[in-house]
Structure 1
Amino acid sequence: MYEQISTLTFDDEMKYTVLAYLAFLRLHELSWPQYRRLVMSQPPGRMLPFMRFIFNERELIDHVQASWCAVYDIEFVRDILESIRFFSSEAQEVCEALEERVYAPDPLGRYVQPPTVPKPFKMSVSKTVCPNFEEWAPPEPFEARPAPMFEKGRTLEVKRLSAVFKENRQILKKKYDDPKHQPFRLRCVERPTNIEQLRTEVEEKFIQDHHYIPAEINPAPAMPTVEVKLNVATLLREHALFQKQMDQDKKKIEAFELELRDDSDFKLWQEEQRMQDEVADAINIEFNRKKVMATDQAAIEAKEKYLAEKMEIGRGAREEAKISHLTIQQESKNEKFRKKLKHFLVVQDKRGIKIARENVAKARKANALEVQAESEELCAKSTLQKAQEMAMKQELVRQLRALEKESCHMEKKFDIYSSSGQGLLQEMSIAQLRTELVLVKRWLQHEEDIKRRKIHAVKIERQNMLLERSRVVTQMRHIARAQWLSKKAHEKFYDKTEINPAEQLGL
């Protein structure tokens, strides 16, 4: 896009941004005719490089695909490129129309400014004559005027203002010495009042009216003494809890029995194993000490070898640097020569651009005339063909209507014992189908009876299991209540028979 940067300006940045957004993300919604209308309404010199770049898939992959993939999803970028490829043929037609506007001669004969051609500039030696500093005379020194002198003391104006201020102060003092001009007092303030008593009464009444009286809380009702009936889930949970508690008690008893056994053999074996571990630790320590000494010696040798290899690599790198420096100098010379040759070829190619453009415009104009003639011929042929087809259709309609008037209505009798005769694998008559349905219903009823018997057996088994567990839970409750009553009676007995040391000592 920036190959023709001389015809573009940076003021068109917003215009290109909006057009690129519509082309990449909203072209299917906007439709191609509307987008083409928008592009053709802009200056063709600005739109031609833009359309060539935006609808060229190769340019987008080379210049913007990598930066887009770093920000957006790869599938999203591929979808955008696929949508651009979908409108490539229409974009090529728009580019050709823009080229005709840009490069074709103006039919009104208006002047078109030719493109800017870069020309090499010539270096010339400046002919400026240097001034002779020996003949130059220094300027005269600048003499500033002295500051004005002020008289000591106050000025005449300040003295007059001071006299006026003093006279005004004396007038004010004489005015306020008179009792008539003293600060006045309100007689209502000097009269006796009971305002404080009234204020106190009002505040007390306000406090009484707004005093917070807390609500009385009713006592909580007594808990019901009726035993709660257990459902199936509660019964199973309580049975599982009792079973878990019994398993824990069983494990405690087994552990207690295990701890009562003789452990002399275990202690003897433990002492032997401890001695063997000490011997193995001593051997391991000696082995590690020798291993560390050998590792230090190997590290010293490896360091010396590494330094020697590094010095050898440094010498090789210096030689390679010299060779690469000479190679870079030679490549820079070759690059300068290639640039000069490329500049010469570009200048030669630009001279024949104008002639090539005129030839292209003439060829396109002739091609357009041929296409117009062919399109007119095809239009005439299609009109004739449509007329012939319409006549044939009218004739067929007339024949069909004539057949409809002559046709008669015939009814066909249906036999329930006959099949359709379509050649299918599961063909049967209506009577056979009814018989098959009766057999299938009997088989389904038999299967349903079997399932019902199984469900009934499972329910009876579950009911027996729940009765057994309910019996166990009831028995455990009776045992727990008996234990609790025994503990309670034991505590009461010890509370009554409390020992008094003073009575035992006879004090």
Structure 2
Amino acid sequence: MASSHASLAKEAIALLHKFSAGRQCLDDFMEYASKDLQNIGTLHKKFILDVVSGCIEHKKLLDVVINVFYGQNGKCLSRGDRSQFVIICYLAIFSLDDLGLQRFSNIIKSLDIKKMHMFLTFFFTNLTTWIQNEWNSIYDAAYVEKHLIIPLLRWRPQMDSLMDRLAVTISGGSQIKKAPIKTTEPQEFSLSKPKSRPLPMPELIPQQEKSKPVPKSTYMAPKEMQMMEEIKQKNHQKTEELLYEANVKQFRCGNPEKSQHTKINSWPIKLNSAAILRQGALYDRQLEEELQRMESLVEGAREPSSFLQWQKEMREKDLQEELAKIERRRLEGRISYEEAAMARTRIMERNQKTAQLKKEETAQLMRRYAEKRLQEEKEMRDLVQQVAEGHKNSKTAKEKLQKIKQSIVKEVAEQRRELLRQALEEAQAELSRRFEIICEIRAIESLPRVRIRNFDDSETAGHELLGEMSLAELKERLALLREAQQTEQQEKREHILEEKQNKKQLLLEQLDAINLHTRALAQATAIRKKEREARPGFRQAMTRDETVLALQKKLEEKQQERQRLKQIESRKAKHSEQAAAHTEERNTGTHGKKSLTVKSWEELELSLERHIQKDSPYVVSQTETLKT
């Protein structure tokens, strides 16, 4: 049964080699192939057709592996071997569970063992790296992980043992070759040694003339490169300043005051014409209202000054209460930040303890695994010695296979020569036809062209229409019309300039009025500011609040506690580094001969962190703690 699967795999390879994707339909090809395989049993026929159709359907998935494999090892491979690599790749991905390891190994051994060992090593080495990434771009990542990668990783230990056996077989086959027989080489018989010739006097080395320096006019570096370099330096300096500002103003978010970017500057604002006119109209309306108020006061009306004073006091009181609330919220936010930082440090300590326990457990497991691995290697050496004795008569089979390959190559070369000859004849016929067409075109172009032109500008066309004109009259009328248009445009331009001048004068007058009002408003705001400074400040009223004082005291306590935790953590880190250095010096002499590498330990630590995160999702990982 094992040999039958090997022969069926060869039939599938030959059938897949006949299929051409661009010229044949899959259904027609399968129907044609089933007719050719009528002499084979039903199960065997189904196996061959399923394998070939699966390779054609999953061509995009298999080409990801085969194309890169040929790109790396194309020098030692031929295009005729592509079908067998496709079949083996399909069987390893989709049919390994159905076949089993024994049947799959029999199929591998029936083919070229060296090439199969090279392909399987390449495939299983790069399975979880770029191959998985390329498959994720074709299918869904979850589907690839569940149905393709995990089954292959489950078969990985058995495939490693199979590749080891193939490597032993290849090395055993190379040892059977006989070493070439060394022949004795005759040496001449010398009676006397000839005298050595005297060394000639060294000739004087001619001194090379100094080369002239290259003038600056030959090549000048472009200014753009220097400008780009200066811009880069300025941008780098700007980023450093922004980074420094961000680090300095880290806790500015808790400040209730406005930032420097949102404060309105006291610089003069450039206004357009519409804004100037609108501002002037506003000041005129305010002036009229003020004049009406003064007239009403002169006539005997009263001004609501007492109510305004009471309203102002109430607003100031509300503002003080609002500032106190903002300060309380800011202090509560700072306190919650400090508590979160302390909670984060506690979680880090708990994670480190759990990771240390897991490391100790994995170290014990790795020691047991190393002992088991040494025992398995010892058993494998014995098995290799037994297998090496059974591969001595493979030389004749290789010679027969080489002859069959040479005959196939000759047939392919003859067919290729016939196709090239036909293509050459067709190309020559096409070139001769094009040459005849070019000669005809050149003969037609060489004929002379007679052009007679007698035209009078002052005559009409003779159609006897009412508005018929000659070309000269039409040109004259167009010139007169153009002059009239130019005069009209000149008048419009003068009118527009006059309107612009009037508008400019109006804007200047409005700007003078705006400047006058702004100066008056500035004096009024200065007077109000002096009055406000004379009263007790808002900050004193805010500091008198008992809740604010209590929150400030609590914030200082939290900050001191966090600083104390940081110092304790730094001491622990130094102690752990010293202990790790001592253990490393102690273990270098005793564990030098072990086969475990640093890479395996790093992989174990990463898997350990993933395991811890699965067990406890709220635990912070070790890499995140290092980043913070």
- TM beyond 0.5: no
Q: Which has the larger radius of gyration?
A: 1
Q: What is the TM-score with the length of structure 1 in the denominator?
A: 0.23
